[in-house]
Amino acid sequence: LALQNFQQAVEIDTGFALAYAELARSNARLYYLRHDLSESRLLKSDQAADKALELGPDQPRVHLALGYYYLYAYRDHKSALKHLEIAEKDLPNDVEIITEKADILASLGRWEEYIKLLDKASELSPREPSILTDLAFGLWLSRRYNDALIACNHAIALDPELTWPYLYKAFTYWNWKGPNQESRDALTNIEVEHEWYLWSWYFQEVGEGNYEAALQLMSDETVDWGVNQKICAMPKT
């Protein structure tokens, strides 16, 4: 729907730079998510990006959208960061720019910068639990376990219905102290329907030496394991 709206916008106003930029982002996202890997989809994204830059070279939100375009279409982190940094000059406290830049830095293994940016984002938007959840993720992988737990607890306080703060809390305890009662308590908040439910409880039971309980989980045909494996591969901290 968003893509159709942006397409209609540029048809109505052929000088609408931001609409072209968002059209580039929307097409590139379909390519990135593998919904459409055709060359024509990529070409549409490229053409919209070129037009956006031609019409709005000084518009920060055009550069924000082009940052996503380079990431989605080509996984070009360098170009994506370049456009985000251009946008940031005019919008230094824009939370979307900050968090997107943080995500790219995480994929490059630049964890301290990632954490610093999300600290800033959480100060600018202190009641947004997703920022604190992402911050907890970076702190966990950076082995700053106590800080990770603080971020998890803040996110949970803002929205107790979220799942990932509880999961990151359990993962943090696993890496810090090993599977224990504290990680078990965190996992009790995971809904049975969640794709990580069986996997997290399986690792918890095996880690505590409860092998019979782990085997029972494996034999439970009423719950879906979601995918065949759970691997979190990230650059070194």
| pLDDT tens digits along 40-78 | 999 999 999 999 999 999 999 999 999 999 999 999 999
Residue 150 located in a structural domain: yes
Terminal CA-CA length for the chain: 39
- Residue 127 falls inside a structural domain: no
4 in a structural domain: no
Q: Is residue 223 part of a domain?
A: yes
pLDDT for the residue numbered 220: 83
Q: Is the residue at 93 inside a domain?
A: no
| Helix boundaries (H) for 56-128 | 60-74, 77-90, 95-107, 111-124
How much is the pLDDT for 231?
55
Which helix (H) or strand (E) segment holds residue 217: the answer is helix 211-219
Using pLDDT thresholds of 50, 70 and 90, give the confidence band for residue 35. Answer: very high
Within 10 Å of residue 222's Cβ, how many Cβ atoms? 5
Q: What pLDDT does 236 receive? A: 63
> Sorting pLDDT into bands at 50, 70 and 90, what band is 224?
confident
- Give the pLDDT band (50/70/90) at residue 237: low
Based on the number of CB atoms within 10 Å of its own CB, is 119 exposed (0-12), middle (13-18) or buried (19 or more)?
middle
233 within a domain of the structure (yes/no): yes
What's the total number of domains in the chain? 1
Identify the domain containing residue 190 by its residue range. Answer: 136-237
Residue 202 lies in a domain: yes
Q: Which long-range contacts (CB under 8 A, 24 or more apart) does 38-45 make?
A: 42/73, 45/69, 45/72, 45/73
Return contacts of 52-57, CB within 8 angstroms, 24+ apart.
52/17, 52/18, 52/20, 52/21, 52/23, 52/24, 55/15, 55/16, 55/17, 55/20, 56/17, 56/18, 56/20, 56/21
Question: What is the residue type of 198?
Answer: L
